Amino acid sequence: MKNLVLLVLCAGLLLFARSHAQPLGIDRYLPLTAAPDNHQALFENEYVLVLDVSIAPGATVPTHLHPWPAVFITLEGAHLIFRNVDGVIVRESKPQLEPASYPIAEWRLPDTQPASVTNVSENTQRALRIEMKFLGP
Helix (H) or strand (E) holding 103: none
Helix (H) or strand (E) holding 100: none
| H helix runs in 21-77, sequence order | 31-34
Distance of CA 99 to the CA centre of its chain: 25
pLDDT at 6: 41
Q: Which domains does the chain have, with CATH numbers?
A: 25-135 (2.60.120.10)
d(CA 51, CA 127): 8
**Using an 8 Å Cβ cutoff, are 29 and 64 in contact?**
yes
Length of the chain: 137
Task: Extract the residue ranges of the chain whose pLDDT is less than 70.
Answer: 1-24, 99, 137
d(CA 8, CA 23): 24
pLDDT at 113: 94
pLDDT at 2: 54
pLDDT at 13: 33
